[in-house]
Amino acid sequence: MTDDVRRRSLPGLPSTYKRASNLALIIGLFGMSGWLGNRATNAWATPDSSPRFVIRHARIFDGKQLTTADSVFVKNGKIEALGKNLIVPNGTPEIDAAGDTLLPALIDSHTHDWGDSPKQALLFGVTTELNMAGIPSVIATLKQAARVDSDSADILSAGNVITPPKGHGTEFGVPVPTLASAADAQQFVDERIAEGSDYIKIIYEDGHVCHIPFTRLSREELSFSIAAAHKRGKLAIVHISSQAEARDAIEAGADGLAHLFADSPPQPGFVEFAVRHHVFVETTLTTIQSALGTPSGATLIADKRLAEFLSSDAQSHMKEQMPFVCSGKLANALAAAKQLHDAGVAVLAGTDAPSPGDWNGASMHGELELLVQAGFTPSDALAAATSLPAAVFQLKDRGRIAPGLRADLLLVRGDPTKDITSSRDIVSVWKAGVESARVKYRAGWAN
């Protein structure tokens, strides 16, 4: 790569965020997503001062499939042109990507954020995080920072979730609003929107799967909450832990499920039921694996391609056990993912990071591998982390490589459409056409 493209001024190295605490767990176990309409296209500014450059000789995955194009021209933070033998203005810096694959930057459909977690995400090629629960004031600060910091992933968020008194989310000593009755659902949703929620997340679980008893919303409260979100044009995403809860949520009109379930194999008729109701599902296989007793991050830190960009705190966190072990089998969640995908249900890659065993950014590469283990083709797994979440969340300016879209790009060595772990061998990450200085971060960890 040319020095013109490689050299960037950088703010100071980020401080590592604290290892998992009870607050991390509450945030890490929440699930959500959102219906943004046309708001999504105007959520983030594209800098007119972004450098122009052309990437040549690349293998290009456009978010859905490999293309015949081998070059991408980036100007003013957007993809100006895509094709073969592109003619660009004289003096345009050129990047020779022979042997490499260019992808849309990744979108994690289920995260939780504070501190410098958006910076961690971007180090590993995730330039957009769909936060599934967070403290509104913290999220507002992170959103604002991402608007001006090319090294921080963009964030959308559900903010405070809908849960009843003594429901999941109230057990950690963090003050959270709770829903008192179905009659209060509309006001409760309106208050969340006033706080800045981009979509509404609803907790619907009694805790029996993980042997932690919670009060659960009634079916009436669940239905009223979903209807209240829809009345304001917001997606309603429901956190579940069991197949029975998933079915209740879908029947009540949920747009999406914040997690897959592992307590039982998909029952006959469940997949067809999900198809009929046009629901989408966020995978969170890495957290499910951790909740079943195997920290998902342990294998990731053994991969040098990831480990060299993980601080010692991050590596310690990724080895951590959940403070409980849930009932079920990972094979059940993998089977649900594959059957839903094969039936045409939108299955979105999400990690639930940074719950114990997970880390923002890095765990997305484990999630992709688990999707392939479930039976997805590598290309379908990549689509679940790029074009598909962009379509579901109506993020019309990203998730694909096409002229006019934002230049959120990920260049990796090798071919992840054949070997999904090649997504870990990152050459460069660009957010709105500005390259992340990953090497400087790595030097900071090493020192």
- Taking the C-alpha atoms of residue 177 and residue 160, their distance in angstroms, rounded to an integer, is 7
- Kind and range of the H or E run holding 100: strand 100-104
pLDDT tens-digit profile of 342-354? 999 999 999 999 9
Secondary structure class of 131 (helix, strand, coil): strand
pLDDT range class, residue 22, cuts 50, 70, 90: very low
Q: Phi/psi at 247 (nearest 5 deg)?
A: -65, -40
Question: Residue 205 belongs to what H/E stretch?
Answer: none
One-character DSSP codes across 167-198: STTSTTS--------GGGHHHHHHHHHHHT-S
Q: Residue 444 has what pLDDT? A: 61
What DSSP character marks residue 41? G
Measured CA to CA, the distance from residue 158 to residue 304 in angstroms comes to 34
DSSP H/E element including 106: strand 106-111
Tokens of 139: 């999220």
Which of helix, strand or coil describes residue 6? helix
Predicted confidence at residue 447, as pLDDT, reads 53
Count the Cβ atoms, other than its own, within 10 Å of residue 44: 20
Q: Where are the domains of the chain?
A: 21-44+106-399
Question: pLDDT tens digit string along 169-216?
Answer: 898 788 899 999 999 999 999 999 999 999 999 999 999 999 999 999
- Any idea which of 7-16, 101-110, 335-344 has the lowest mean pLDDT? 7-16
Cβ–Cβ under 8 Å, residues 58 and 70: yes
Q: CB–CB of 360/286 below 8 Å?
A: no
CA distance 139 to 152: 13
Render pLDDT for 95-124 as a digit per residue (tens, 0 to 9): 999 999 999 999 999 999 989 999 999 999
Q: What is the model's pLDDT at position 440? A: 75
Q: Is residue 59 predicted with pLDDT exceeding 90?
A: yes
d(Cα 207, Cα 27) in Å, to the nearest integer? 16
Q: Which fold has domain 21-44+106-399?
A: TIM Barrel (3.20.20)
**H-helix segments, 232-300:** 243-251, 270-276, 285-291, 297-300
Name which of 10-14, 39-43, 312-316, 341-345 the model is least confident about.
10-14
**Side-chain half-sphere CA neighbours of 371 within 13 A:** 32
3-state secondary structure of 114: coil
Q: What is the mean pLDDT of the chain?
A: 89
Question: 427 burial class (0-12, 13-18, 19+ CB within 10 angstroms)?
Answer: middle
Percent of the chain past pLDDT 90, that is, above it, reads 83
Q: What six digits make up the tokens of 117?
A: 């977690």
Task: Check whether 329 has a pLDDT greater than 90.
Answer: yes
Band of pLDDT at residue 445, cut at 50, 70 and 90: low
